[in-house]
Amino acid sequence: MFGAGPLVFCSHNGNSASADGVAAWLEWAGFRFDPFAVLDAALDPHLSEYLVGHEVFAQIWGDHISWVFAPPGGGKTSLRISVSRACWIGQETNRPFPIPYTPPFLSWGNASPSLEDHLGALAQAAAITLFLATAYRPHWFFRLDKHRQQEVRNAFHQNLPGPLPYYLERCRQTGNVDTLRRALDPSFILRDPPKSVTLLEWCDALDKGPNSFSPLSPPDRWHQMRTLLLDVLEFPVVYILADGFDGAPETAENPLSVVNCLASLIPHAERWADERVFLKAFLPADTPNLFEKKFPQLIAPAYVSTVNWTPALLAEVIRRRVYVATEGAFGSLDAISSPALRDVETLLAKVVPPVPREMLVLTRQVLECHTQLHGTSGLIDERDVESAVEKYKKDTHKRG
Amino acid sequence: MINATQLNYSPDKFVDREEELTELEQRARALLEGRNGHGVLIFIGERGVGKTWLRAHWREQLRRQKVPMVWIDLREYTGKDPTWAVADIIRKVSTATKGPDEGLGADLAEMSRNLFAHLRKTLLQEKGFILFIDHVYESEWAMLPLLEDYLLAPLSVEPRVLIALAGRGRLYPWKTPELGVKANLIEVKPFSDLRFTQWQLERQAPQAVGEAPEIHTITRGNPLANYLLALRGVNTGLDWSLEGLLATIPEDHRRKVREYVEALCVLRDFDEERIPAMLAIYYDDPSYQNWMYAQARRIREELVRWALAHWDTEKRSYVLDRIIRDIAEQFLRQQRPDKWEALQKAAFNLYTRWTQEYPRTRERWQQEAKYHQQQLQMTPDQSPVEKRD
C-alpha cells in the first residue's frame, strides 16, 4: 500500500532504550508528555482531556439513564472512567456521586443474579467508593453532626468487604491513602490526598462508636447507602456506572448472558431515576437488539449511544492526544512529518482494527521506528510509517 | 514606526450584537429572579471582532441591573507561579463576594473549600453572581487545571452562578463537562452585512462613511480593522491598520513579528518546512534556506504565542488569523507589490518542487501551487481577499 523503496524493519519495541529514544524525540518535537505510552485507560491521568467522540460523552453526562454500546476495546471503560473523573473534580459534594459497578460473578457463583444479589453488590461498591472518597476528603465526614457521622460509620460496617477497623488500622500504619486505594480499588485516584495528620484524625473519628451490628438485608443495605449519599452527604445525584461485561468469562462470549445478568436490575431503573439514582450501563456492541427486545420501554433512543470507530474517529484519537500533549501547539502528527506525508493519522487508522488501543500501538510503533532509523530528532517520514506498519502486521500475525 | 491606536469602549459607539446581548440579558435576569440561570458561556472570535466591546457593553448592562459580578483578567497573571495565581483569584472572588481576604487556607484545596463554605452561607442562599474570566485561552496551561479544579468546576454546577469565559487562541481541553461539552459557545462574528460597517463608521469615524463598501470588502466586516482603516483611509491606512492589529504585542517583539507575518501572509497555511523558503525571499537572504527545523519552530511558536496564528484542524497545519492575513497581504500587494509577487512566486516554486518530490502527497501540493499561480495571474485591481479562498 505504501510507495516503493527499501523496506527497513525496526527491531523489537518496548525495551527501555527504545522508550528513552521515543521520550527524547517527543521532547524534541515539543511534547510535554508521552500521550501514547499508557494503554490502560484507568492509569492514564490525562484520559479526560483527550476524550474523542464528545457527542457520546455529552449524551451520557447528565441526570438520566444511559445505555452505551461498543465493541471490546472500543472505549467503554474509557468513557466510564471519564464520567467517574468528571464527578470527582473539586472539593465539594455538589457533583454526582459515581458508583463503578462491575458485577461480582465470582462471589455470586452464578451469571443470572437476583435483584438482592445486585443490591448487595451495589451497596458494597458504593461503600468502597464512599470510604475512599472520604479518606481523600475527610472534611465531608468532619462537617457532619455526631448522629450523621454515626450513620456513615454504620454504613461502612455494614457494606465494606472487610471489617472497618482492619482498613483503618492499615491506614494508620502507613498514614497514606494509597494503602486503602490499593486494597479496595487501585483505579480510584483523587487529587489532593489529605496530610497524614488529617488522615489519622479521620481514622480515629471513624473508629469511635460500637463495632458490632446486626447485619441488614441487601435491599436495606442499598437503601442505607442511597440515603447516606443523597440525604446525609447531600450529593445531588448518584450515577451507577455498570461495566466490565466484556472482560468477565460469564458474559464475554454470550450476549444473552449480559441481558440475563441485568434482567433483575433494569426494571427498577426508571423508579430509581425518580429518586435521583441513574443507571448508566456500558454494554457490548452485540447486545442492543437483545436489550431492546426485552426492555422495549426502557431503551429509549435518546439515551442510547453507540460507539462506532471509523478511521476518521480513530485518527482523531491520535490528533486529540497530540493537541493535549503539546498544550495546543499543534493537533496532528502532520505538523512533525515530512511534506511527503499528509494526514498521517488516517493512513495509520486504515491499517488497524477499529479500536483505539490498536491505533495507539501502531502510532507508538511509528515513533519507535523513527527513533531507530533517524535518532531522536527529525520529521517522521514515509520510511518510518512503512516500517512501523510492516512491524505491526508481523506482530499482529504472531498474536494470532 | 506608527503608533497604533484603539478606540475605547463607549456605549454610544456600540453597534449591533442584538442576538448575543439578548441571550446574555436573559441569563442575567434569570439569575436575578432566582430561576435557573446557571451555566457556562464561552466567548470566542477572531482578533478585533468585538469581543472586548461586547463584554464591556454587557458589563455596563449588568452594572445598571445591579447584578453581582466578579471580573478577573488572566493577563494579570502572565508569568506568575500558577498556584499563587489561582490562590490570588480565589481570594479576589472571596473579597468581591464579601468573604474573607485572609485566612482562607494554607493550600488551594483548603482555600477552595472555605470559599464555597462562605458562598453557600451567604451569596448563593439569596442571590447569584456572574464570574467573568478574560483572556483564558491566552494563559499558560499550567494554571488552567488548577483554576478548573479549585474554582470553575465546583462553581459551574451551582444553580445561581453564571460563568463567562473569554479568550482567543488554543482552546483548553477542560475535563469538566459543564466547561467543555456542555458549555454554550458564543461566537462573536464579523459584521456580515455592509450596513453594520456603515453604522459603525457613522458612530466611530464619520469622515470615512463614504469608503464603507471598500473598507467592508477588505476587512470582511471585522470591526477593529474597519475602524483602523477608516482612520487613515483605504489608500494609506493598511500599514496603520496592520500595526493596530498587532498593537497587543510588546513593542520589542512587534517589528520582528510583523515581518514574519508579512513573509507568510501569502500562504493559505504553513509549517516549519515552509517558513525558511518564505523568509529567504522576504529578507532577500538565501541563508534562511539552510535553517534548521528548530529555528523555524521558534518563528511558528512566536506567532502562536501572540495568537496571530493557530493550528487549523481541517487544514492540519498552521494558519494566520484571517484578519491579520487579509490586511497584511493587502498591505504588501498595495505598498510593496514586488515583494508580494516574489513571495507568491516563492510559494509557487516551493509547492511545484514538492509536487515532484513527494508523489504520495502530490495532489495536496498541486492545489497550493495552482492557487499561487492564480494569484500571480490576477490583475492588480482584483482583490486577493475576494478571490483566494
Is residue B185 classed as helix, strand or coil in its secondary structure? strand
Confidence class for position B385, pLDDT limits 50, 70, 90: low
Residue position matching grid coordinates 500599514? B239
Q: How many CB atoms lie within 10 A of CB B127?
A: 15
Report pLDDT for B370: 97
Contact B172, B144 (CB under 8 A): yes
Report pLDDT for A185: 92
Higher-confidence residue of A324 and B383: namely A324
pLDDT at A350 over 60: yes
Q: How many CB atoms lie within 10 A of CB A54?
A: 14
Beta bridge partners of B40: B163
Closest chain B C-alpha to A54 CA, distance in angstroms = 7
Report pLDDT for B168: 83
Predicted confidence (pLDDT) per residue in A294-335, tens digit: 988 888 888 899 988 899 999 999 999 999 999 999 999 999
What whole-number distance in Å separates Cα of residue A238 and Cα of residue A93?
11
What whole-number distance in Å separates Cα of residue A350 and Cα of residue B363?
20
pLDDT over 90, % of chain A:
73
Contact A9, A295 (CB under 8 A): no
Report pLDDT for A5: 44
Q: Which residues of B touch A90 (CB under 8 A)?
A: 112, 149-150, 153-154
**Overall average pLDDT of the B140-166 stretch:** 92
Say if residue B62 is exposed, middle or buried (CB neighbours under 10 Å; 0-12, 13-18, 19+).
buried
Closest chain B C-alpha to A234 CA, distance in angstroms = 13
Q: CB A340 to CB B112 under 8 A?
A: no
**Overall average pLDDT of the B165-173 stretch:** 87
Instruction: Identify the H or E element spanning B117.
Output: helix B108-121
Count Cβ neighbours within 10 Å for each residue of A90-99 and write b for 16 or more, e otherwise: bbbbbbbbbb
Q: CB A89 to CB B112 under 8 A?
A: no
Contact A379, A37 (CB under 8 A): no
Report pLDDT for B81: 96
Q: Which residues of B touch A328 (CB under 8 A)?
A: 141, 169-172, 311
Strand pairing report for B309-312 and B317-320: antiparallel
pLDDT at A73 over 50: yes
Predicted confidence (pLDDT) per residue in B40-91, tens digit: 999 888 888 888 888 888 888 888 888 888 999 999 999 999 999 999 999 9
pLDDT over 70, % of chain A:
95
Phi, psi of A241, rounded to the nearest 5 degrees: -105, 90
| Residue A234 C-alpha from the chain's centroid | 25
Contact A259, A294 (CB under 8 A): yes
Facing B360 at nearest CB: one of A3, A50, A61:
A3
Report pLDDT for B4: 46
What whole-number distance in Å separates Cα of residue A333 and Cα of residue B111?
40
Report pLDDT for B323: 94
Nearest chain A residue to B298 by CA distance is A30
Confidence class for position A139, pLDDT limits 50, 70, 90: very high
* Mean of pLDDT over chain A: 90
Instruction: From residue B200, give the alpha-carbon distance in Å to each of A365, B58, B195, B217, B322.
Output: 56, 18, 9, 15, 20
Q: Residue A13: which of A308, A365, A252, A346 has the closest Cα?
A: A365
Count of residues for chain A?
A: 400
Higher-confidence residue of A220 and B39: namely A220
Expressed in angstroms, the distance from the first to the final Cα of chain A is 22
Spell out the domain ranges in chain A. Answer: 16-43+310-399, 55-306
Confidence class for position A12, pLDDT limits 50, 70, 90: very low
Q: Which residues of A touch B154 (CB under 8 A)?
A: 89-92, 94-95
**Overall average pLDDT of the B365-386 stretch:** 82
Q: How many CB atoms lie within 10 A of CB A221?
A: 22
Residue position matching grid coordinates 493596530? B244
Residue type, A125: A
Residue position matching grid coordinates 443470572? A112
B336: DSSP letter: -
Q: CB B180 to CB A54 under 8 A?
A: yes
Close Cβ partners of A33 (under 8 Å, ≥ 6 residues apart): A26, A46, A325
pLDDT at A399 over 80: no
Report pLDDT for B123: 66
Closest chain B C-alpha to A254 CA, distance in angstroms = 34
Predicted confidence (pLDDT) per residue in B300-322, tens digit: 999 998 889 999 988 999 999 99
Q: Which three cell numbers stand for residue B271?
A: 509549517
pLDDT at B36 over 80: no
pLDDT at B380 over 90: no
pLDDT at A63 over 90: yes
Predicted confidence (pLDDT) per residue in A189-206, tens digit: 898 999 999 999 999 999
Angle (CA) B240-B244-B246 rounded to 5° is 120
Domain B17-187: top CATH class: alpha beta
Interface of B with A (CB under 8 A): 107-109, 112-113, 116, 141, 148-150, 153-154, 157-158, 169-173, 175-177, 180-182, 271-273, 293, 297, 301, 304, 311, 313, 316-318, 354, 357-361, 364-365
Count Cβ neighbours within 10 Å for each residue of B251-261 and write b for 16 or more, e otherwise: eeebeebbebb
Q: Which residues of A touch B297 (CB under 8 A)?
A: 30
Q: Residue A10: which of A353, A399, A371, A381 has the closest Cα?
A: A371
**Overall average pLDDT of the A260-273 stretch:** 94
Is residue B70 classed as helix, strand or coil in its secondary structure? strand
Closest chain B C-alpha to A247 CA, distance in angstroms = 27
**Overall average pLDDT of the A217-228 stretch:** 96
pLDDT at A11 over 70: no
**Overall average pLDDT of the A349-353 stretch:** 95
Contact B224, B389 (CB under 8 A): no
Q: Work out how many CB contacts closer than 8 A connect A with B.
A: 116
**Overall average pLDDT of the B271-288 stretch:** 97
pLDDT at A77 over 80: yes
pLDDT at B337 over 60: yes
Strand pairing report for B161-166 and B129-134: parallel
Q: Which residues of B touch A334 (CB under 8 A)?
A: 271, 316-317
* Mean of pLDDT over chain B: 89
Facing B154 at nearest CB: one of A94, A236, A339:
A94
Confidence class for position A242, pLDDT limits 50, 70, 90: very high
Q: CB A323 to CB B116 under 8 A?
A: no
